[in-house]
Amino acid sequence: MQHESEPGKVLAVANLAEYFRDALQGALAHQHIAVEDQTEQYVVNMLTVFARAERLYEGVPAGSKMPPLFNLFANAVEARTAVERERALQRLGDISLFIAGFFAHGFARRLVDIDYHIAMGGRAYGTLAGALARGPRRVLSTVYGELAAKFQPLVDALGEISDAARTYTQADVLRLYEIWLRTGSARDRGLLSQLGVAATPVALHAH
């Protein structure tokens, strides 16, 4: 199946899961990131589900542009049962990964930036891995554990998928530099180098 398209054209995809699988495998290989087959399948399933906007914005307050992580975290803390807590943590991890990977450039001028999503998502997956480690779902625990341990590299892989047809403006380059400062992303450093920008660490000052 052909996935290539001209810039600005709508990409026609007959099988969304197949498209995301091919795109994710390509991004992981390009960035030398190794994950288990079950973890790769988990991410493909997540991308396929969230490609439907109603699933991504399920339960989001009216007027919100993105699912607020604080609300998702509160749902996990206030859950009445273990099952409800696991579902809330899973959604927190999934949404953090999806948004950090696909919408990093949209965080500019917001109070909550990409590093917050990375921290929250990794912690949610790690908590899930610990909760399921001794039960009948140990395989799923291993998946969550790998998602937690490789959260930043997976964000980079999803970012590569998102940026496949992106043309960088000067403002985008500045934002890319800020993201690299916040996350230390190897992918973003490589992009900066390709764009002719030397990635030199400086202190980020709070305003």
Cα(45)–Cα(34) distance, integer angstroms: 18
pLDDT of residue 206: 44
DSSP secondary structure, 153-167, as one string: HHHHHHHHHHTTT--
Q: What are the tens digits of pLDDT across the range 105-129?
A: 655 445 456 788 889 999 999 999 9
**pLDDT above 70 for 137:** yes
Cα(5)–Cα(10) distance, integer angstroms: 8
pLDDT of residue 2: 40
**Of residues 171 and 34, which shows the higher confidence score?**
34
Coil, strand, or helix at residue 146? helix
Average pLDDT on 15-32 reads 88
Cα(53)–Cα(39) distance, integer angstroms: 23
Q: How confident is the model at residue 144 (pLDDT cuts 50, 70, 90)?
A: very high
Is residue 64 a contact partner of residue 96, using CB atoms and an 8 Å limit?
no
Average per-residue pLDDT in the chain? Answer: 76
Angle, CA 188 vertex, CA 24 and CA 49 arms, to 5° = 30
Average pLDDT on 93-99 reads 91
C-alpha dihedral (175, 180, 186, 188), degrees to nearest 10: 0
Q: What are the tens digits of pLDDT across the range 154-167?
A: 998 998 887 765 55
DSSP secondary structure, 23-65, as one string: HHHHHHHHTT----HHHHHHHHHHHHHHTSHHHHTTTPPTT-S
Q: How confident is the model at residue 135 (pLDDT cuts 50, 70, 90)?
A: confident
What is the 8-class DSSP label of residue 107? G
